[in-house]
Chains A and B, each alone.
Chain A
Amino acid sequence: MTTTPGATPTIVLVGHGMVGQRFLEALAGRGLTATHRVVVLCEEPRPAYDRVALTSYFSGTSPDELSLTDMRFVEDHGIELYVGDPAVAVDREARTVTAGSGAVFAYDTLVLATGSFPFVPPVPHKEAAGCFVYRTIEDLLAIEEYAKNASTGAVVGGGLLGLEAAGALKGLGLTSHIVEFAPRLMPVQVDEGGGAALLRTIEEMGLTVHTGVGTQEIVVDDAGAVTGMKLSDGSELATDLVVFSAGVRPRDQLARDCGLSVGERGGITVDEQCRTVSDPHVFAIGECALAADGRVYGLVAPGYEQAETAAATIASDEAAFTGADLSTKLKLLGVDVASFGDAHGTSDDCLDVVYSDARSGLYKKLVVGRDGTLLGGILVGDAEAYGTLKAFTGSVPPVAPESLVLPAGAGEAVQLGPAALPDEAIICSCNNVRKGTIREAVTEHRCTTVPEVKKCTKAGTTCGSCVKVLGQLVTAELEASGVEVDKGLCGCFAQTREELYEIVLALRVNTYQELLDRYGREGARGGDGCEVCKPAVGSIIASLAPTIGASGYVLDGEQAALQDSNDHFLANLQKNGSYSVVPRIPGGEITPEGLITIGEIARDFGLYTKITGGQRIDMFGARVEQLPLIWMRLVDAGFESGHAYGKALRTVKSCVGSTWCRYGVQDSVRMAIDLELRYRGLRSPHKLKSAVSGCARECAEAQSKDFGVIATAGGWNLYVGGNGGATPRHADLLAQDLSDAELVRLIDRFLMFYIRTADRLERTSTWLERIPGGLDHVRDVVVEDSLGICEELESLMAAHVANYADEWASTIDNPEKLARFVSFVNAPDTPDPVVGFVPERDQMKPDLPLLSIGMRPATDVLEGSAQR
């Protein structure tokens, strides 16, 4: 296929790595994706991912989590991304690129971002089974697989990447060696003194380091698999696996083949605009480029700068890449190593300030100019000051340099906060963000948290080494602007959720309006509240309903107006405006009839069905007016609301337990059902999850739950504060060997104490970490009754249990409540025309294009409402 350039000019990007992706973002940011056709050829089997964080794969980060590519971004900007299809030839005369698939793309502008390939020294048998490089996710998957049958691993190369790779091998359980040709580790970044400190620390961790020796030959067995390596000092090292990490070389073959000029030692020669010197239609960025300052940069930050420069140049803006700084910080195997600026003191007339303590593996060196300007430095063992020092590089720090490297407690040590930095100081070098920009994010763009500042400025979104300084700056800036951190729930209430709970309970306030009008902030009284406090107060009132004399039914009277949208419809809203339906299946136990009923209902209403992660069944795609009809049938068959929509008890998962399992010591299914039925419908600050396992094998994953129970020979162990989700936390053991009654009583108290004292949307895990005294305090309160409130906690729970009624059963019996379940108030039987479905894998999914078209006539758009 040949594509000819039409009216829209075409940009072809070869290589979808870190820099390629940043280039696409820069194109989009400048509006070039709207005016150009953008074609991307991506050689790897997956779109761009975070190569810098590659090693985190071994500590549990999945390839998906490493991804840098948001497919919506690609789609929204109409970028044609060909994954797994490399460029194989460029015809500069015809201005076309041929892909491996045979497709030919004509370009007006070609951008090469092909990165590097790992250099493998030309030693015999370097391609034997068991030899690897360390560059891509596929490399890591292969190493992981091979390591299963290996016990020793060796890394050739003791640089930054070699140490990372050695750390990874050790993490895979291998005895690990590092072979480095230079006389010290990380020769590029650290000097002799730093190398010595590093060596000591790394050896203490059980890695064997061989410096000053080269690899001469890989030794293989009859089958051709690695068994060892011969070193230049004549010795032999037995190993099952070898990882070459001896540096990288620019991938410039494609450029060479089409006659672009390359440097003597590789790298596509470009000018300050990142345009190749041979052809004005071709750019090269990232690790494949030989920059105008004569260097090939092997770090991501300069590559990002080049990407921005190339995009700006294509947009006819002025930009130049004239060189970059090579600061790096690495934390691996628990050792901090950082180098920044002129680390080796190559400038004229510079002086070193060194602090060294080989015993504790500490080495800190600052390179200072005659006039006191900080030029660079090396930190090994403690890189705490890296962010601040790097930012001061190029200026005269306000205190004597030696005071910056002395360890705490050594008299002079100075804690120089980032507040002292000048506005021009670069805080995030990956993304080139100045301190001033971060301050503006707080003062002008009203960011009040680190995540907001990250989103607004991009700082801290790459290697993460600046996040700590970022946090300090944000806090300092907020304090400086006199923001007294207001602990109030929201703009309507100056009280915390806990304080409001106490007011509601003690004064028996049972309506939101009364609470707002009497206890709200001055300006909020008499108003309509907001989306933060309404559901929070609605939840407090619901969890105390029987005690304070409110209705326990969340759709009664004023309460209906307080509920979050999902609670208001007793179902979960999906992206196209349809709903999902989740009946309760206590403990995950369900009869064949139950399964058949759910199946029939789903079939009759044409719903998509899926087994959830919570051991029950979700039916998706119900229109709002179908909800009551679906629930009439579910309620008829004995099902109840599963509260999948509420900040309430979700599921109590169970394993099969002693009834069937040969290991089980207690009946975990019965206990799970009992607990689920006891706490169902309980409204709380956040959702509550639980699980019961029949023995310590823990098949129900109870330790990842808000309250989890594990059977023991003598009864039950109760764990609290577990969490899955984005920040997993293992639950803590609260009490051991409890009887059924003791277990239930303790859970009653625990839950009620949590509901009483937690913040809005604070799961038990974060609550436990936040409250003063932590787990010990909670144990004192709920086990020892140190506050004397246990009786009250228990009676509050008893009232909840006694008053529980199924919300859906109450709703379908109430014609007035049913009136809200209509598509349109004036056309209750007309389905919402934008809720549509298309087939997928024998079921259906939302018809998303329908959403973007909407059913909106053109005049509406012309009136100025935004189109997305």
Chain B
Amino acid sequence: MTLAPETTDLKVQLQLADTWFTVCDLSLLTPGRGVAALLPDGRQVAVFRDRTDRLYAIDNRDPFGGAAVLSRGLTGTHQGRPFVASPLLKQRFDLATGECLDDETVRVTAYGVRTAV
């Protein structure tokens, strides 16, 4: 069965090894904020949507404090790079690459992410 895209809920999918893992309906993401998703192997991913509906996904664990909270940070753009600021001690992470903008020796995993019907 095919449905017109606008009447279907688009799904958010994460790239894992060689499969795409469906996380949730796109409508559950608020532009400018993130959500946490649980992967089958126990890892946690923070998934974000920006104001132009681009999607990003990085590891949810704050490597500085250890808690799994990056999905709850504030997002923004710094010199053209989309980032999330950890709600714990405010270090910023590039949403596209996982690199920490405040400490170049630290990075978190970044995941491929797409929408699919």
Residue ranges of A at the interface with B (Cβ–Cβ < 8 Å): 491-492, 513, 523-524, 527-531, 534-535, 558, 560-562, 564-566, 568-569, 573, 575-577, 819-820, 823-827, 830, 832-835, 848, 851-852, 854-857, 860, 863-868
Q: Flag if A528 contacts B37 (CB, 8 Å).
A: no
8 Å CB contact of B88 from A564, A575, A823: A575
Leading 10 A-B pairs by shortest Cβ distance: A851-B66, A561-B32, A565-B87, A530-B76, A577-B67, A825-B35, A531-B74, A531-B85, A866-B106, A527-B77
Instruction: Check: B69 CB closer than 8 A to any chain A CB.
Output: yes
Q: Flag if B36 contacts A824 (CB, 8 Å).
A: yes
**CA of A824 to CA of B35 in the docked complex: distance in angstroms?**
7
8 Å CB contact of A855 from B44, B63, B80: B44
8 Å CB contact of B108 from A524, A558, A560, A865: A865
Q: Flag if B42 contacts A833 (CB, 8 Å).
A: yes
- Would you give the shortest CB distance from B62 to chain A, in whole angstroms? 9
Once A827-B38, A866-B106 are accepted as A-B contacts, the answer to whether A524 and B77 lie under 8 Å apart by CB is: yes
**CA of A820 to CA of B65 in the docked complex: distance in angstroms?**
23
Residue of A nearest to B82 (CB): A528
Chain B residues contacting A852 (CB-CB under 8 Å) are: 66
8 Å CB contact of B77 from A528, A568, A827: A528
Q: Apart from A528-B75, A857-B41, A866-B105, what are 18 other A-B pairs with CB-CB below 8 Å?
A: A491-B78, A527-B77, A528-B76, A531-B76, A535-B74, A561-B33, A564-B74, A569-B72, A577-B69, A820-B35, A827-B38, A851-B65, A854-B68, A855-B44, A865-B59, A868-B64, A868-B66, A868-B106
Chain B residues contacting A868 (CB-CB under 8 Å) are: 63-64, 66, 106
Chain B residues contacting A826 (CB-CB under 8 Å) are: 23-24, 37-38
Q: List 19 A-B contacts (CB under 8 A).
A: A523-B80, A528-B51, A528-B75, A530-B74, A561-B30, A573-B87, A573-B88, A820-B30, A823-B36, A823-B38, A825-B24, A825-B37, A830-B38, A851-B67, A860-B59, A865-B109, A866-B63, A866-B107, A868-B66
Once A528-B50, A575-B88, A865-B59 are accepted as A-B contacts, the answer to whether A560 and B43 lie under 8 Å apart by CB is: no
**CA of A165 to CA of B87 in the docked complex: distance in angstroms?**
46
**CA of A513 to CA of B32 in the docked complex: distance in angstroms?**
11
Residue of B nearest to A534 (CB): B74
**CA of A867 to CA of B67 in the docked complex: distance in angstroms?**
13
Residue of B nearest to A824 (CB): B38
**CA of A834 to CA of B43 in the docked complex: distance in angstroms?**
11
- Would you give the shortest CB distance from A305 to chain B, in whole angstroms? 29
Chain B residues contacting A524 (CB-CB under 8 Å) are: 77
Residue of A nearest to B106 (CB): A866
Q: Flag if A825 contacts B106 (CB, 8 Å).
A: no
8 Å CB contact of B32 from A528, A575, A834, A848: A528
Q: Flag if B43 contacts A531 (CB, 8 Å).
A: no
**CA of A561 to CA of B64 in the docked complex: distance in angstroms?**
24
Q: Flag if A825 contacts B43 (CB, 8 Å).
A: no
8 Å CB contact of B68 from A562, A577, A819, A863: A577
- Would you give the shortest CB distance from B47 to chain A, in whole angstroms? 7
Residue of B nearest to A562 (CB): B32
Chain A residues contacting B117 (CB-CB under 8 Å) are: none
- Would you give the shortest CB distance from B65 to chain A, in whole angstroms? 6
Residue of A nearest to B71 (CB): A825
**CA of A4 to CA of B75 in the docked complex: distance in angstroms?**
53
Binary contact readout B17-45 vs A (1 if CB under 8 angstroms, 0 otherwise): 00000011000101111011110011110
**CA of A151 to CA of B14 in the docked complex: distance in angstroms?**
77
Q: Flag if A865 contacts B98 (CB, 8 Å).
A: yes
8 Å CB contact of A560 from B33, B37, B80: B33
- Would you give the shortest CB distance from A94 to chain B, in whole angstroms? 42
**CA of A819 to CA of B27 in the docked complex: distance in angstroms?**
11
8 Å CB contact of B43 from A527, A827, A857: A857
Q: Flag if A864 contacts B63 (CB, 8 Å).
A: no
Chain A residues contacting B77 (CB-CB under 8 Å) are: 524, 527-530
Q: Flag if B66 contacts A834 (CB, 8 Å).
A: yes
Q: Flag if B23 contacts A856 (CB, 8 Å).
A: no
- Would you give the shortest CB distance from B72 to chain A, in whole angstroms? 5
8 Å CB contact of B76 from A529, A568, A855, A866: A529
Q: Flag if A575 contacts B37 (CB, 8 Å).
A: no
8 Å CB contact of B42 from A527, A857, A865, A867: A857
Once A528-B77, A561-B33, A855-B42 are accepted as A-B contacts, the answer to whether A834 and B23 lie under 8 Å apart by CB is: no
- Would you give the shortest CB distance from A550 to chain B, in whole angstroms? 16
User: Which of B35, B64, B105 is most buried by chain A, counting CB atoms within 10 A of its CB?
Assistant: B35
Q: Flag if A825 contacts B41 (CB, 8 Å).
A: no
Q: Flag if B23 contacts A825 (CB, 8 Å).
A: yes
**CA of A311 to CA of B90 in the docked complex: distance in angstroms?**
34
